[in-house]
Structure 1
Amino acid sequence: MAEAGGAWRLEAAAGFYRGRGEIARYARAELRFLRWEIDRGVLDERSGSPWWRAVNDRLLRDRAEAALVREDGGEPPSAGARAWAAFLAGPSPERWYRAHNSSVVAGYLENEDLAAAELPAERLMINVTLSRVLYAHAMVAVPRLALGPLAALGPRLGDPRTGSVGMFLDLRNVFPQHYPLDGWSTGRVMDLEGRRARMLDHGVIKPRLRELYAFSARALGEPGLVDLLNGDIPSYARPDIDRSRWHERRLLHGLATLVTAPGR
């Protein structure tokens, strides 16, 4: 049953935001993504993914620690918890991304062994998910890097309180909606992406991956993040991406890059 293991995580995530006034508006993007995970079944305790559960639990733990510290005083025990405490003290889109991504990246780095046990197609999805989350942060924090000449649109498009960020974080219509991905190759998963998703992942994000990971490593205090790229190919848990396939659709890449050339 897909709900097993997902229902309590959804309630815990929603509970952090509930009753906190303006902060409650920041729940939108995260809860939408969490429902996608539940629908796929990756959070199921018996048939789901130990990796997806571990990363989600790191996020829940950091937030719970930040909330306790805010109530009782003291120093948050982890960088993620400290970032969430800073968000609670002065909420803003940039602080939300810094807190959320601090927890998510820590979860990635400390659970790479679990990711390596996933099928190659799942590892590809895990890498694309990371690049999109980092990109959404950049739209708010360094919009020139994320959108080049369209930088003025970044803070609005990336604001987690609005529906527009869904086009970057919603994977419901991009990847297979079940787990595990038995019989799926990384190439087949890449072929499933629609035109808009390919434009985003290969045309907009891919040309700036190295700058994007370098920015996030600095912003989150996680220097190991830059090691999750092999050139301009995501390499977390060795997803076995075919380099020639990753660089396909050159015209599509070029059109998107012309519109949103990387910049600072």
Structure 2
Amino acid sequence: MSFIRWQINRGVLAPLTADPPGSPWWRAVNERLLRDGCEAVARSGGLSGTPSSHAVEQWMAFVSDPTAGTWYQAHNASITSAYLDHRDLADAESRPERFFLNVVLLRVLYAHALVEAPRLALGRLASLGPLLGDPRLWIPGVFVSLSRVLPDRYPLGDEVAAYVAAERNIGQILDYGLVRPRLQQLYGWSAQQLAEPALLECIREGSPTYAWSFADRAVWHPARLAPAVRAIERVAPPTNHWEQR
């Protein structure tokens, strides 16, 4: 709910006729998530017929077996399908907005991996994964929160570098210390787990490329990182040997 409130406060969900207007991309992605969830609720109440999408089937699986894993499976199936279906809207967003669309995506994929593939997500700290990723707790909200970095306004001004510089230690540790070294593996696992092979089009050589040029990949690989980021890289390095829970 905190993420929804943040979107509302930014104005990205405002009507397109408002002044200033909301974001067509953010509105479309949220609409997909709501539609899939509402269809699953209707089907659990007796609505017949074929589910409209694979994501709805995942929401039905969550209704039948409400666990952290089935919740992420359903939520991220809706989110990734919406991302892929609305790349044209993403391309129309400002450069800093497009950067953060990638940040949101990689963070929700990582939160899923904490629960379902903790060794991929945390290496030798894998035993902490299910707790850190449990959507019933407040911790995953910290992972996806951008409120400490982005101002409550839309559209964004400034350049990407200004927002990256404003990111606090927890965000840097997450994005650059934990997630960045395993991004290619993470997207590969997510594409298979969510049955969305096109998700691999959003990553290239470990650099996110959703509505983002590979030529601008330097932003994902800053030359200088905080000591805490270097420390977490040493404590929890990525591994090539991991298994699904």
Structure 2 length normalisation: TM-score? Answer: 0.90
1:154-169 to 2 correspondences below 5 Å:
154-169=129-144
1:60-102 deviation per Cα after TM superposition (whole angstroms, max 9, x unaligned): 1111111122222443220111100110011000000000000
CA shift, 1:240, in A, is 7.2
1:254 aligns with 2:224: no
When the two chains are superposed, the root-mean-square deviation of aligned CA atoms in Å is: 1.6
Tell me the equivalent position of 1:12: none
Q: Distance in 1 between matches of 2:25 and 2:73?
A: 22
SS of alignment partner, residue 180 of structure 1: coil
SS of alignment partner, residue 262 of structure 1: coil
**Alignment: residue pair count:** 233
1:20-69 deviation per Cα after TM superposition (whole angstroms, max 9, x unaligned): xxxxxxxxxxx121111111111001311000000000001111111122
Tell me the equivalent position of 1:19: none
CA shift, 1:257, in A, is 1.4
SS of alignment partner, residue 95 of structure 1: helix
1:168-247 to 2 correspondences below 5 Å:
168-182=143-157, 184-238=158-212, 242-247=216-221
Q: Distance in 2 between matches of 1:221 and 1:70?
A: 23
Q: Structure 1 189/63 Cα, relative in aligned 2: closer, same or farther at 3 Å?
A: same
SS of alignment partner, residue 50 of structure 2: coil
Tell me the equivalent position of 2:77: 102
1:56-67 to 2 correspondences below 5 Å:
56-67=30-41
Gap runs ≥5 in structure 1:
1-30
Q: Structure 1 123/240 Cα, relative in aligned 2: closer, same or farther at 3 Å?
A: farther
CA shift, 1:104, in A, is 0.4
Q: Distance in 2 between matches of 1:161 and 1:245?
A: 32
Higher mean C-alpha deviation, range 154-163 or range 235-244: 235-244
Q: Distance in 2 between matches of 1:211 and 1:258?
A: 18
Tell me the equivalent position of 1:18: none
Higher mean C-alpha deviation, range 123-132 or range 169-178: 169-178
Aligned-residue sequence identity (percent) comes to 45
Gap runs ≥5 in structure 2:
none
**Runs of 4+ more than 6 Å apart:** none
Q: Structure 1 121/240 Cα, relative in aligned 2: closer, same or farther at 3 Å?
A: farther
Q: Judge conservation of contact 1:124–1:239 (CA < 8 Å) in 2.
A: no
Q: Judge conservation of contact 2:113–2:121 (CA < 8 Å) in 1.
A: yes
1:37-116 to 2 correspondences below 5 Å:
37-45=7-15, 46=18, 47-72=21-46, 73-116=48-91
Q: Judge conservation of contact 1:228–1:236 (CA < 8 Å) in 2.
A: yes
1:19-34 to 2 correspondences below 5 Å:
31-34=1-4
Structure 1 length normalisation: TM-score? Answer: 0.84
Q: Distance in 2 between matches of 1:195 and 1:53?
A: 30
